[in-house]
Amino acid sequence: MEGKNCIITGGNSGIGFETTLALAKLKANIIIICRSQDKAEAATKSIRAKSQNNNVDYILADLGSQKSIKDAAKYVLKEFKRLDVLVNNAGTWVSKLELTEDKVEKQFAVNHLAYFLLTYELLPALIKSDDARVICVGSDSHFHGKMHFDDLSLGKKYHGLRAYAQSKLANILFTYELDRQLKSKGLNHISVNCVQPGLVKTDIGLKHTISLHGLAWRIRRMGGVSPAKGAETSIYLASSKDVQGESGKYWDKCHSKPSSKRSYNKEDALRLWNISKELCGIKNYISPLPLENHL
């Protein structure tokens, strides 16, 4: 990984922190995308010290804001003309219906649209890598998920778990459709995969939840694995030569496995793709590029 350029969202804590630390130890150049300056500064300082790698920096961005994502991407493209690894890791879980400044349900916005938009914005740099890897952190919660295309915000009957499961199903539908879209354009040097980290001892269920849901998460996560263990598959897909060229798959414990039946529905994937383009104001996700940019 020495000399490789990597972006990791939510790299200041949990799975994202451990992914960043591992890749930093392998001498990668890394920028983490975080929302809190205090947490970002503390995380980068800790990672630099533990890895003995000073090429670890951060950008502040609110992944619930499309403007903020675009601004962060512009900064990345100034720093990294070539991008080798993008780990779409940051996620959220909320108990009550919240809309972002873009009028999108918060979990759908942060857990799915941020993946979709950030990947799009960074494609010019990913294309310049001879082995670019996009990793989307999903969840087996998607097995309980369903795309509510007529009411994606679930405003008629909102429940945090239902919205979360939908967003995680969206992660896999996006992964599979992006893989198909890239291959249709001959961009076979960009791989895209989705990861199931398992039940991990993080604070995702505590930050924006009602007290009852927070208590339930505290009890449930007791049976989870450490963030370092949960990060292993992301690290493997980002760094291992064994998976070069592997794309369009769902991974768990460093092995690919079948995802839910709904996740293989190509019509749903394309419908989600087109809706996501519209919500993000994107006309051509993979624009025609000069041949030299593919090399």
For 137, residues 6+ apart whose C-beta sits below 8 A from its C-beta are: 15, 87, 88, 89, 91, 171, 194, 195, 197, 234
Structural domain of 142: 5-294
pLDDT band, residue 34 (cuts 50/70/90): very high
Q: What are phi and psi of 121, to 5 degrees?
A: -65, -30
pLDDT band, residue 156 (cuts 50/70/90): confident
**d(Cα 74, Cα 261) in Å, to the nearest integer?**
37
Q: What percent of the chain has pLDDT over 90?
A: 80
User: Is the per-residue pLDDT at 271 higher than 70?
Assistant: yes
Rounded to whole angstroms, what are the CA distances from 64 to 61, 109, 118, 176, 203?
9, 6, 11, 23, 18
pLDDT, the chain, mean: 89
User: Is the per-residue pLDDT at 219 higher than 60?
Assistant: no
Is 164 assigned a catalytic role?
Answer: yes
Pick the catalytic residue from 120, 164, 176, 285.
164
pTM, two decimal places: 0.89
| Nearest one of 238, 273, 189 to 86, comparing CA atoms | 238
- Mean pLDDT for 226-240 is 90
For residue 222, count other CB atoms closer than 10 A to its CB.
9
- What pLDDT does residue 293 have? 44
- What pLDDT does residue 107 have? 95
- What pLDDT does residue 207 have? 53
- Mean pLDDT for 255-265 is 97
CATH number at residue 219: 3.40.50.720
| Nearest one of 60, 183, 192, 58 to 115, comparing CA atoms | 192
- The tally of domains found in the chain comes to 1
Which of residues 14 and 73 earns the better pLDDT score? 73
Beta carbons of 54 and 121 less than 8 angstroms apart: no
Beta carbons of 23 and 235 less than 8 angstroms apart: yes
User: Is the per-residue pLDDT at 25 higher than 70?
Assistant: yes
- What pLDDT does residue 226 have? 77
- What pLDDT does residue 291 have? 40
- Mean pLDDT for 6-32 is 95
- What pLDDT does residue 288 have? 58
User: Is the per-residue pLDDT at 178 higher than 70?
Assistant: yes
- Mean pLDDT for 36-57 is 96
pLDDT band, residue 292 (cuts 50/70/90): very low
- What pLDDT does residue 264 have? 98
